[in-house]
Structure 1
Amino acid sequence: MTLRILLVDEHQMLVEALATRLGAEPDLVVDTRGPAGVETVVAHAVRARADVIVLEVAPLDGDRRELILGLRHRLPNAHLVVLTAEEDRRIAGEVAPLGVEGWISKEADVGALVDLIRAVARGRGWFPPEQLGAVLERLRADARRARQRGGPLDRLTDREREILAAMVRGESTVTLARQLRLSAHTVRSHVANTYAKLGVHNRLEAVALARSAGLDVAAGPRPELVPAGR
Structure 2
Amino acid sequence: MGYSQEPRKLRVVLIDDEELVRAGLTLVLATEPDIEVVGEAGDGQSGLEIVAGLQPDVVVMDIRMPTMDGVAATKILTSEGFNLNGAGAIPVLILTTFNDEQAVHAALRAGASGFLLKNSAPKILAAAIRALSKGAGWLDPNVTKGLLEEFSSRPEPLIPKAPKSSGLTEREMEVLTAIANGMNNSQIAEKLFLSEATVKTHVHRILMKLGVTDRSQAVSAAFRWGLVRSDDR
- TM-score w.r.t. length of structure 1: 0.64
Which of these residues, 15, 21, 42, is aligned with residue 28 of structure 2? 21
Cα distance between partner residues in 2 of 1:154 and 1:62? 29
The 8 Å contact of residues 89 and 198 in structure 2, kept in 1 or not, is answered as no
Which amino acid in structure 2 is aligned with residue 204 of structure 1? M
- What is aligned with 1:66? 72
Which amino acid in structure 1 is aligned with residue 14 of structure 2? L
Cα distance between partner residues in 1 of 2:97 and 2:162? 36
Report the CA distance between 1:30 and its aligned residue: 0.7
Cα distance between partner residues in 2 of 1:13 and 1:206? 35
3-state secondary structure, aligned to 1:123:
coil
Cα distance between partner residues in 2 of 1:15 and 1:85? 14
Which amino acid in structure 2 is aligned with residue 47 of structure 1? G
Cα distance between partner residues in 2 of 1:130 and 1:23? 26
Report the CA distance between 1:121 and its aligned residue: 1.4
- What is aligned with 1:129? 141
Which amino acid in structure 1 is aligned with residue 209 of structure 2? E
Residue 205 in 1 paired to residue 214 in 2? no
Cα distance between partner residues in 1 of 2:162 and 2:71? 26
Gaps of 5+ in 2: 1-7, 164-172, 187-193, 213-217, 225-233
3-state secondary structure, aligned to 2:184:
helix
The 8 Å contact of residues 91 and 112 in structure 2, kept in 1 or not, is answered as yes
Report the CA distance between 1:153 and its aligned residue: 5.9
The 8 Å contact of residues 119 and 125 in structure 1, kept in 2 or not, is answered as yes
- What is aligned with 1:163? 184
The 8 Å contact of residues 82 and 100 in structure 1, kept in 2 or not, is answered as yes
Aligned residues: 187
Matched ranges for 1:97-108 at <5 A: 97-108=109-120
The 8 Å contact of residues 7 and 33 in structure 1, kept in 2 or not, is answered as yes
Cα distance between partner residues in 2 of 1:95 and 1:55? 10
Cα distance between partner residues in 2 of 1:148 and 1:92? 19
3-state secondary structure, aligned to 2:56:
coil
Report the CA distance between 1:77 and its aligned residue: 2.3
Cα distance between partner residues in 2 of 1:25 and 1:133? 29
Which amino acid in structure 2 is aligned with residue 30 of structure 1? V
Report the CA distance between 1:186 and its aligned residue: 5.2
Name the Cα RMSD after superposition: 3.8
- What is aligned with 1:3? 10
- TM-score w.r.t. length of structure 2: 0.63
